[in-house]
């Protein structure tokens, strides 16, 4: 069994004993093995950022960065989606130690939700207290134009499952974690302050997570609007649930890259998602850097 990392990320984490084979390791052991390897190679961090489709350029702004391809981290799931580099970048920004994940595993790729949230579990076991989740999303709210940055005030989980389904491991968190404030009000207030001070426009809204990978139909978008969603995407929510299960403080930011189906007569294509995400990379990086600097 791997020795548990200190919750504040300080202290030596030992690698798993060599007599434990991969086949014999349970989920917790695999998380601990990945956390041990990362602690040895990059050390502790103050904040982790998960970068959505087309938003990976932010990682290039980290000073003194060290890049680790996902394939070199024990048990870490691959990221095969266009716009996801599939690498962890550790470095410094605004005086804080930052771990940035350029790419994530998605439910629609055929992974189960324990695999989808494996990286989040590892970040939590590294003792990282703050997690910033970002994504590219479709705009349901007709006031949102492509390029709008939306602060996630809450979410609606329509994935058809929950990453906490199954046996609960109390070493990760409680059986029934509270979700009344998934996205930290303190962090949202910081984000609003940064936007005001830098002249950025920051919208607020509710994010709906759907299974994918097909884009939604116009009827589905009308349904989502009726139940209170402002943007829709295929990620983020499982990670947020698991992070709160592990008592991490979470902030969510969506880049609205396109109007959702039925909002615009144009068909939806992934190339447009990538193009708009790259167009707003300066504003996006400015916002994230400002938030990190005020943590």
Q: What is the CATH number of the domain that holds 75?
A: 3.40.50.1580
- 266 Cα distance to chain centroid: 28
Residue 17 domain-assigned? no
Specify the pLDDT at position 72.
96
Specify the pLDDT at position 81.
62
Residue 67 domain-assigned? yes
Contact between residue 255 and residue 136 where contact means Cβ atoms under 8 Å apart:
yes
Choose the catalytic residue: 75, 111, 270, 272: 270
Residue 238 domain-assigned? yes
The yes-or-no answer on residue 65 being catalytic is: no
Specify the pLDDT at position 11.
39
Residue 3 domain-assigned? no
Residue 43 domain-assigned? yes
CA nearest neighbour of 167 among 175, 179, 158, 159: 175
99 lies in which domain range? Answer: 22-293
Domain count for the chain, please give it: 1
Choose the catalytic residue: 75, 108, 111, 168: 108
Residue 166 domain-assigned? yes
The yes-or-no answer on residue 183 being catalytic is: no
Q: Taking the chain (295 residues) in consecutive chunks of 10 residues, what is each chunk's mean pLDDT?
A: 36 39 77 97 96 85 96 90 77 97 93 97 98 96 94 98 97 98 98 97 97 94 98 97 98 92 70 76 93 96
The yes-or-no answer on residue 8 being catalytic is: no
CA nearest neighbour of 159 among 234, 98, 105: 234
Residue 10 domain-assigned? no
The yes-or-no answer on residue 109 being catalytic is: yes
Cα separation, 112 vs 107, in Å, equals 6
Q: What is the pTM of this model?
A: 0.89
Specify the pLDDT at position 278.
77
Residue 218 domain-assigned? yes
The yes-or-no answer on residue 136 being catalytic is: yes
* Rg from Cα positions in the chain: 18
Specify the pLDDT at position 82.
56
The yes-or-no answer on residue 234 being catalytic is: yes
Specify the pLDDT at position 40.
95
The set of residues, in sequence order, having a beta carbon less than 8 Å from that of 193 and lying 6+ positions away, is 294
The yes-or-no answer on residue 195 being catalytic is: no
> For tokens 């940064």, what's the residue?
194
């Amino acid at each position: 069994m791997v020795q548990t990392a200190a919750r504040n990320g300080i202290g030596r984490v030992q690698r798993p004993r060599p007599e434990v084979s991969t086949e014999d390791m349970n989920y917790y052991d695999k998380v601990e093995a990945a956390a041990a390897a990362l602690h040895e190679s990059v050390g502790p961090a103050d904040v982790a950022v998960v970068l959505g489709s087309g938003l990976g350029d932010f990682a290039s702004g980290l000073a003194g960065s060290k890049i680790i391809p996902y394939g070199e981290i024990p048990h870490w799931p691959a990221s095969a989606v266009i716009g996801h580099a599939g690498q962890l970048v550790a470095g410094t920004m605004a005086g804080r130690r930052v771990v940035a994940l350029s790419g994530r595993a998605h439910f629609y790729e055929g992974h189960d939700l324990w695999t989808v949230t494996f990286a989040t579990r590892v970040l939590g076991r590294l003792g990282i207290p703050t997690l910033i989740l970002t994504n590219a999303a479709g705009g349901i709210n007709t006031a949102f134009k492509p390029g709008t940055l939306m602060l996630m005030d809450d979410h609606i989980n329509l994935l058809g499952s929950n990453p906490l389904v199954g046996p609960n491991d109390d070493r990760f968190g409680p059986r029934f974690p509270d979700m009344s404030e998934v996205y930290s009000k303190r962090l949202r207030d910081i984000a609003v302050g940064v936007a005001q001070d830098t002249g950025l426009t920051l919208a607020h809204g509710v994010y709906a997570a759907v299974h994918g990978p097909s884009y939604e139909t116009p009827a589905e978008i009308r349904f989502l609007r009726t139940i209170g969603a402002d943007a829709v995407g295929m990620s983020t929510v499982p990670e947020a649930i698991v992070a709160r299960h592990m008592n991490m403080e979470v902030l969510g930011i969506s880049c609205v890259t396109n109007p959702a189906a039925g909002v615009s007569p144009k068909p939806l294509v992934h190339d447009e998602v990538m193009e708009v995400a790259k167009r707003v990379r300066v504003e996006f990086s400015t916002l994230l850097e400002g938030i990190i600097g005020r943590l």
